[in-house]
Amino acid sequence: MAQKDVRRAATDYALGVLSRRRVSRGQMRESLRRKGYSDTEAETAIAKLVEWGYLDDKSYSREILRSMLAACPIGRRRAVFELTRKLFDKQLIEEAVDEVFAGLGEEELAALAARKYLSEKKSVLTTEKERERLARWLQRRGFGYEAISSALRTAGWTSGDGQLDSGIRDDLHL
């Protein structure tokens, strides 16, 4: 097959991928490589898609984060993890997270997430097991110790000194 035909085939394949779902440049690059296209062919196809406006990592990364925050608040760590998993550029990840999380406090987001969790479970933190479960859930959502501790205080539970019990803290590996 002629070089021009191979480049066109790579672009056609990439358009087919985009017709099924939105992807990042990194995901597209990996998809093209798995299909057997060379790095040069993949980059040529990606450049065309960017030029045509079909691949826009900047808006896509922010859309992902806003969607995740709207569904249920997440911490910055989870945001970075999700964008990294989708093969976004590290610089772009930092910019997107900084922009979307500007003016949003981690502790307030954790408290909001805890309220949402408790309302969906129709539960209150009455047992140690329920408190530990909420703390682990918040950790999986990307919140750190201080935010989790604050969220549990906001939810109305602390140990006598206002901190997480050492058992919960040890369970969270903090």
Tens of pLDDT along 85-102? 999 999 999 999 999 999
> In this structure, are 43 and 70 located in the same domain?
no
Percent of the chain with pLDDT over 90: 70
| pLDDT at site 23 | 97
For 3, 80, 117, 129, 173, the CA distances from 107, given in Å and listed in that order, are 55, 17, 15, 22, 19
Q: Using the predicted structure, report yes or no on whether residue 132 has a pLDDT greater than 50.
A: yes
The length of the chain, given as a count of residues? 174
> In this structure, are 110 and 166 located in the same domain?
yes
Tens of pLDDT along 28-82? 999 999 999 999 999 999 999 999 999 999 999 999 999 999 999 999 999 999 9
Distance CA 44, CA 126 (A): 59
> In this structure, are 113 and 166 located in the same domain?
yes
> In this structure, are 39 and 65 located in the same domain?
no
Residues 6+ apart with CB under 8 A from 143: 75, 77, 78, 106, 109, 110, 113, 151
Mean pLDDT, rounded, for 133-147: 94
> In this structure, are 114 and 158 located in the same domain?
yes
> In this structure, are 94 and 115 located in the same domain?
no
> In this structure, are 93 and 110 located in the same domain?
no
> In this structure, are 122 and 145 located in the same domain?
yes
| pLDDT at site 7 | 81
Distance CA 45, CA 131 (A): 50
Percent of the chain with pLDDT over 70: 85
Q: Using the predicted structure, report yes or no on whether residue 1 has a pLDDT greater than 60.
A: no
**DSSP H helices in 36-105:** 39-52, 57-71, 76-85, 90-100
> In this structure, are 47 and 74 located in the same domain?
no
* pLDDT level of residue 15 (50, 70, 90 thresholds): very high
DSSP 26: H
The domain tally of the chain equals 3
Higher per-residue pLDDT: 159 or 135: 135
> Can you give the residue range of the structural domain that contains 7?
3-52
Residue 174 and residue 145 in contact, taking contact as beta carbons nearer than 8 Å? yes
Q: Using the predicted structure, report yes or no on whether residue 170 has a pLDDT greater than 60.
A: no
Higher per-residue pLDDT: 30 or 126: 30
Residues of the chain by 3-state class (helix, strand, coil), percent to 5: 70, 0, 30
To which residue do tokens 């369970």 refer?
Answer: 171
> In this structure, are 111 and 81 located in the same domain?
no
Q: What is the mean pLDDT of the chain?
A: 88
Q: Report which residue type is found at 99.
A: E
Higher per-residue pLDDT: 11 or 4: 11
